[in-house]
Structure 1
């Protein structure tokens, strides 16, 4: 199927190029027809065809500045740690010499089909308050088979290595899928007495225990079982990609699944996009392009990581059952005694249902109650947990307050005020 997908994409290339040429001709202001409804309709049809048949490349973060201490400062990206399947990117802020350091924040982006740039809004919102780092996971089809395998155990090792790279008093945030491996990594570090364990751990919309309020995604995985996924969705990367012959879960399948869950919404969005183009409504056009340029850019996952995640998290629920293993070592969240825990959920989340992330609170049985906090953001779905206006206005202040209060230099005995007022 992957080879057929590549063949179809190549076959449509000439038609896509022709459609793009038509769009340029009929949207050129020097062409009198471009100022008519008919001309804009032709250009809109051509752009809609080109965009729906395009392969979207990896987006950029594009964050060049932020505001710190009420002053605009420049931001630049630098890779501070590198492995075959991940780069650790630091968003370096041009701060005055001698200024007190802000908390180090490691944002672990999901490896679930989209690039780390999906968290652009998350990074942007935290930049004024923290020294931000993010995991930039590699597209598996771009990694040669000579680089070896990458599974859930490797993911956990990567998180531990990155925390060691950043040093003590680091704060970690896991968005969605990485909530499980991050909780596992912190559990392992605490069990070992690792002094590089983070000061705080924030889990956002993650599938810690998918038996609680299961969603359609959870039910499908449990119904089909791991073998079904191995037989039906695992494919080999076709030539001439660098990862030729690597077994992967293709990104286009993941995207098809996500779009199928809300197909009517996507159809309406594209219909509205066409009408915005015809009516020359610039705001609606820009918003559509920005969202779908990111949403339609997908990456492949290694087969071993995908299948192990499905089996561990969604089929057998090993972490909440206390049966999850890492390199022969049992993952025991009760070993966590020093890492403050903040869990965040969305009221209308249709990917990780209410209660699934909060389950981490129950698993960390030896963590003092005053080092735990939970918040449910009303009126948001999965995406709204880490992006959007409500995220910036309601969730970010709580995250910042939690991080500052439980940093090792400023740790207090009670919950921060903002978090204490949160809905539980």
Structure 2
């Protein structure tokens, strides 16, 4: 019923977008007359933006500057499963560069949310990304996708990169990245990553709990199963699959910063009305990405909430994989860097750095930590401070362990 009610809202939003297009076409010939026509035009364009989208946006990275020349970038699927694709951003260069697997979170957004992270890495690295699929588009016959399946995918992807790779995990999958590194180390897997950079992730949520952490512990796991899990309607390929809908995750994030998002859309309207194209495009681009949502397989969501946010199994070094215990002390060949944001209100300072307390077999020269001043959660992996201050440290760390 929850998903069906949302589908009705989507149908209404589609009608609103259609009326917005009609209104925009009607007022466009008179745009040069100034107010109030420009207000009507801006209002029409805001109507055309109503609702969410459910298809992955384009990465839009066509070229990158390597050295003194612009080189073309081609998206190359390397390995695909029903739930995700290992996507390589292949560059037309002869120089061999460190291979980096960017591990994107499964938290209601597509991996394109890390487009800026990828763009920054590309000049110096051979970049791959975990391009996760929308669970509502995966037929029920393809089976389940849980916490261990995510770990499996990381290991499969690292092997498909043919060894010698590095991992850069952002937010939620820092936990799975640690698990994969430990499992591969115990198995003496040749594809074990040379380094892993963990950025703003919930390794130990007991440290300085945020509102996200408090919500996760305020209810029993049965409450999450009853109130946040829905069934995909018949109109989609994944009909019958149980999912945590992306629209609910994004709604929760919006509710955390309602004033900010209201102000963002107010600013967007006035930038449009005043002809401030550059400012309007910057805000519109952010929300185009922010409101592109994907559903999570229910088992992955529930297992993550219980394992990471309620039982703290990784933080206690009690995490298991396929029923077998994982010992983080087995990580000996994978160098570890952690990065946190001073103002992060999703993963607080100290939660990611806790990885160093688990990987105790690593010597000091294989460890690094960076606290980026003046940034919140998204500023850890995107924006000017990421590009100018954090990234040079990450680049040097990867290169020193390649």
Same fold (TM over 0.5): yes
Distance in 2 (CA, whole Å) between partners of 1:105 and 1:331 is: 24
Deviation at 1:46, TM superposition (A): 1.9
Partner of 1:157: 152
Distance 1:395 1:291 in 2: 21
Residue equivalent to 2:23? 22
Contact 1:344-1:375 within 8 A present in 2 as well: yes
- Provide the C-alpha distance between the structure 1 equivalents of 2:358 and 2:16, rounded to a whole number of angstroms: 55
Q: Give how far 1:16 is off.
A: 2.4
- Cα distance in 1 between the residues matched to 2:163 and 2:84: 21
Q: Matched residue pairs, number?
A: 401
Aligned partner of 1:40 among 38, 41, 44: 38
For 1:241-320, list aligned pairs within 5 A.
241-320=236-315
Query: Residues 56 and 248 (structure 1 numbering): CA distance in 2 closer, same or farther, change over 3 Å?
Result: closer
| 2:55 is the counterpart of 1:60 | no
- The residue that corresponds to 1:421 in the other structure is none
> Taking structure 1 as reference, are residues 15 and 402 closer, same or farther at Cα in structure 2, changes over 3 Å only?
closer
* Alpha-carbon distance between aligned partners in 1 of 2:369 and 2:395, rounded to the nearest angstrom: 14
Q: Which whole-Å deviations, capped at 9, do the CAs of 1:186-211 have from their partners, x for residues lacking one?
A: 01111122221010010000000000
2:97 matched residue in structure 1: 102
* Residue 79 (structure 1) aligned to one of 65, 77, 80: 77
Contact kept? 1:225, 1:311, Cα under 8 Å: no
Alignment partners' CA distance in 1, 2:25 and 2:168: 43
Change over 3 Å in CA distance of 1:199–1:40 after alignment to 2 = same
Shift of 1:167: 2.1
Distance of 1:150 and 1:370 partners within structure 2: 37
Question: Per the alignment, in what secondary structure is the counterpart of residue 254 of structure 1?
Answer: helix
**Local SS of the residue matching 2:391:** helix
The residue number in structure 1 matching 2:228 is 233
1:359 paired to 2:360: no
Q: Whole-Å Cα distance in 1 between the matches of residues 301 and 56 of structure 2? A: 20
CA contact (8 A) 2:98 2:166 kept: yes
Segments of structure 2 that go 5 or more residues without pairing to the other structure are none
1:200 aligns with 2:198: no
1:17, CA displacement in angstroms? Answer: 0.5
Using structure 2 for the length normalisation, give the TM-score: 0.98
Aligned to 1:420: none
The equivalent of 1:410 in structure 2 is: none
Name the CA distance, whole Å, in 2 between partners of 1:330 and 1:343: 24
Partner of 2:343: 348
2:13 and 2:50 in contact (8 A); partners too: no
TM-score by length of 1: 0.93
Q: Does 1:145 align with 2:140?
A: yes
Change beyond 3 A, Cα 1:22–1:79: same
Output the CA distance in 2 between the equivalents of 1:218 and 1:309: 12
CA contact (8 A) 1:153 1:326 kept: yes
CA RMSD, aligned part only?
1.1
Q: CA deviation at 1:52?
A: 2.7
Cα deviation, residue 69, structure 1: 1.8
Question: 1-side partners of 2:355 and 2:310: how far apart?
Answer: 18
Given the alignment of the two structures, is residue 217 of structure 1 paired with residue 212 of structure 2, yes or no?
Answer: yes
Helix, strand or coil at the partner of 2:39: helix
Which stretch of the first structure deviates more once superposed, 166-175 or 246-255? 166-175
Say which SS state the counterpart of residue 304 (structure 1) adopts.
helix
8 Å CA contact retained: 2:19, 2:47: no
**What residue number does 1:416 align with?**
none
Q: How far 1:56 moved relative to its partner? A: 5.4
